[in-house]
Amino acid sequence: MENALRLTCLSCGQANRFPAARLDAGPKCAKCGLLLVDGDVIAIGHQRHDKATQTDALPLIVDYWAPWCGPCRTMAPEFAKAAKALRGQARFAKIDTEQYQAVSQRLQIRGIPLLILYAGGREVARLSGARPSADIEAFVRQHL
């Protein structure tokens, strides 16, 4: 397939391939039917985290958070706002670092909230601390 994009479904983990030109048409997951690029923040676990961050073509921003973390909860609506604003250009996900401690240990995460931007299957940049949506948007756009 020419100019094929690979996107992991953040909901079920299915690897999807589709022509890059179809990105604007709202491609859906071949397995569960979820829109692959919908502007929502999707909660992911260990396996989907690794698959999506290591293989996906489209930039992916992951919010590393925990339920006990006040600043994380404060930032959640700001993160969601940025996800809507950047719909179609990047995808947004969040992972609970308390539930998935192996992930945060491997990434050597010392403090949360922490955002990590991935693109082309590798880590591109980090942004730490609770941020307003404008900061999150600027951070992502800087690396698009």
Spatial distance between the Cα atoms of 22 and 79, rounded to a whole number of angstroms: 26
Closest to Zn ion by CB, 12 vs 25, is: 12
Spatial distance between the Cα atoms of 84 and 102, rounded to a whole number of angstroms: 29
Closest to Zn ion by CB, 11 vs 104, is: 11
Closest to Zn ion by CB, 42 vs 66, is: 42
* Least separation in angstroms between CB 14 and Zn ion: 5
Positions touching Zn ion (CB under 5 A) are 9, 11-12, 14, 29, 31-32, 34
* Least separation in angstroms between CB 54 and Zn ion: 18
Q: Is residue 72 annotated as part of the catalytic site, yes or no?
A: yes
* Residue 87 and residue 137 in contact, taking contact as beta carbons nearer than 8 Å: no
Contacts of 111 (CB under 8 A, 6+ apart): 128, 129
Q: Tell me the catalytic residues.
A: 69, 72
